[in-house]
Amino acid sequence: MLTDWWTIALVTVGCAFFLAGTVGLLRFPDVHTRLHALTKADNVGLGLICLGLMIHDGTLPGILRLGFIWILAIFAATVSAFLIARWHESAGTED
């Protein structure tokens, strides 16, 4: 099935983004670059995984729910990254 291959491809690329984000979180030197790795890679990774699962699901309620999960995660990740960066600024410590 062609759709199955699309799902496998999208989810695999999404997982690769997660892997890259995790490596970045572990290896990058300071708070800002780590946040960059985490939020960017996780958002794209989760988006791709959700997209792959949407193709696999194929029903409208399922697609809407998966899209909703992605949007909620993006919102939460944005604000938490902002709060961590702001805490880092106010603490004024080099990490």
Partner 1 sequence: MPVSDLLASGFDVLLCIGLLWLAWQAITGTGLFRSVVMFMVFGLMMAVTWARLGSPDLALAEAAIGAGITGALLLNACRAAVSEMRSDEQPLRDRPSGVPKWLALPLSLAAGVGLAWLMHSIPRDGGPTPEAAIKAAETHFLDNPITSVLLDFRAIDTLLEMAVLLLALVGARVLLDQRRLPALYPVPDHPMPMLPSLLAMITPVLLLTGLYLFWAGSHAPGGAFQAGALLGALGVMYQLAGRFTPTHEPGTVNALLITVGLGLFSLFACLSLLWAPAPLSHPEQGAYALVLLIEFALMLSIAATLVLLFVGSRSLQLRRSTNHPGGRQ
**Minimum CB distance to partner 1, residue 44 (Å):** 21
Whole-number Å distance between alpha carbons of 87 and 33: 15
Site for partner 1 in 6-65 (CB under 8 A): none
Q: Token pair 């699962």 is at which residue?
A: 53
Binding flag, residue 5, partner 1 (CB under 8 A): no
- Residue 91 is a binding residue for partner 1 (CB under 8 A): no
State which residue, 33 or 80, has the beta carbon closest to partner 1. Answer: 80
**Nearest by Cα to 46 from 25, 24, 77:** 77
Where does this chain bind partner 1 (CB under 8 A)? 72, 75-76, 78-79, 82-83, 86, 90
